[in-house]
Chains A and B, each alone.
Chain A
């Protein structure tokens, strides 16, 4: 009884981890299924069909390519703009700073339907045709605030003494920035960029409002396919993404914890 009391938090924690992982495990298992009907709900028979022919579902790989492309471009642009803004907000005092912080915070506090629909009204009013451009505009918008917040946290955690030391060693402000500050902030920028890509790649709701009829991203493909039975290939992509994410996050964490040990 005492043992249970002591370890209750560990038991609950492990159960919650199981809850988090369960759907991912199902995605992996069902990527090897050969469904009996259109719907991949019931285990029928082991098969490598989907793995051997990942693009076998018409339109899926095109949608995947589009999503990757949009994710990379949106992440790049919002990382550049967001990093600049993060430096301005954490390193300078200027009138209107708190208002600017609020403007950065608001998009994160806006539900996706509201953001998507208000952008749609703007594009309709402007007469702008929905397509890749409108999707990119929307994705840069909702990833921007996350990049600013992530990079800002990293800049704030820097020890200003390091830059002062660089200045003492006759570094020009530009040298001090590129040789000292930037490399130290780089992990934060990388994390922001990764987050921006993940958010863009995963987005359905905002995209659906601004994509038009012919531009289909991967989440839109999955949504459409779900109505009439998603192909097994969707699970293959889901599995690859899950394994890839574990690898990337794992490597990033491993580097981070080793750095921390060296620092300490």
Chain B
């Protein structure tokens, strides 16, 4: 259909152009320069810092000091494990809460869809710290949540699970995980919503016609089709949650310290830069390793 009318330029069919090799370079230059100077270079300076020896007063010297890594892991492995455990639990909770919510918003909300989207997005635009402080009020010892939990025996169950050390909800692993799950919930709901909204409901009828029961329909039809949303939602929740220390600091106690808190205090108060850099580097490497395994297992490479 290459209809060439005199005086009319031939139709350009491709949205992706090859013409003008310099244009994309010029367009990309500022952003790439910024990312290189302030992201790639600092990653190397972090790596180099982590292999230095010395102290803040006499200065640090580069010395291939792998001992920093050994002492970082030796001293802080419980905080590392705890961070991964809390972030993992919080991610599972956000998935369990986010999936029904996203389904409800995508397929059952009718004319309230826009309003629900606003209600899910808007809290995300208000201050993270203020909302976390509000959890202190909600979980406070004589508050109605504490009383209801105690009366219904939920506190007892949580205590049995090791989630609540005594019978107060504040300052417990339970509070930290609930805070993490709360703060990162929108990061889970929005990708899930995008995936589920595209899901054609006729597939469900088709599954029903082929004698699939509800459970089979979910696992064989809905779940595979929502996988891109599940993968990006879990990553967007797990990664920031693993490094977070606002929740563990404001809602936890000394037994709930997460690795971010250790890195922060080593860098800014103890001023042991090499050890702190080693901790930071281990955290990054662990996350990259886990994420690449996970993405490969989920079989969705279309993330970027």
Contact = CB atoms under 8 A, between A and B. Distances in A.
B169 interface: no
Nearest to A239: B126
B120 A20 contact: yes
B120 A17 contact: yes
Contact of A26 (B13, B134, B263): B134
Interface string A212-249: 00000011001100100010001101100110011011
Contact of A241 (B23, B101, B125): B125
A113 B45 contact: no
Interface string B28-47: 10111011101111110110
Contacts of B28: 84-85, 88-89, 100
Contact of A121 (B126, B128, B235, B277): B277
Interface in A78-99: 80-82, 84-85, 87-94, 98
Contacts, number: 295
A1 interface: no
B31 A144 contact: yes
A172 to B, nearest CB: 11
A112 B11 contact: no
Contacts of A110: 39, 239, 284, 287
Which of B98, B115, B124, B303 is most buried by chain A, counting CB atoms within 10 A of its CB? B124
Interface residues of A, number: 97
B122 interface: yes
Interface on chain A toward B: helix, strand, loop, or mixed SS?
Answer: helix
A105 interface: yes
B49 A121 contact: yes
Nearest to A195: B125
B85 interface: no
Contacts of A118: 42-43, 45-46, 277, 280
Contact of B42 (A12, A13, A82, A121): A121
Given A91-B16, A92-B18, A121-B277, A23 B134 contact: yes
A216 B41 CA distance: 26
A60 interface: no
Contacts of A198: 124-125
A21 B115 CA distance: 13
Interface in B112-166: 114-138, 140, 142
Given A10-B108, A16-B97, A168 B11 contact: yes
A230 B132 CA distance: 12
Contacts of A87: 27
Interface stretch (A44-52, A182-190, A201-209): A201-209
B177 interface: no
A117 B45 contact: no
B128 A204 contact: yes
A42 B140 contact: yes
A107 B263 CA distance: 18
A38 to B, nearest CB: 13
Nearest to A248: B125
Nearest to B267: A117
A85 B29 CA distance: 8
B60 to A, nearest CB: 9
6 contacts: A23-B131, A94-B21, A104-B35, A109-B288, A124-B273, A208-B264
Report, nearest first, the 6 A-B pairs whose CB atoms are least far apart: A111-B243, A13-B104, A245-B125, A23-B134, A160-B15, A88-B27
Interface of B: 8-9, 11-18, 21, 23-25, 27-28, 30-32, 34-36, 38-43, 45-46, 48-49, 97-98, 100-101, 103-105, 108-109, 114-138, 140, 142, 182, 185-186, 235, 239-240, 242-246, 250, 259-260, 263-264, 267-268, 273, 276-277, 280-281, 283-284, 287-288, 291, 303-304
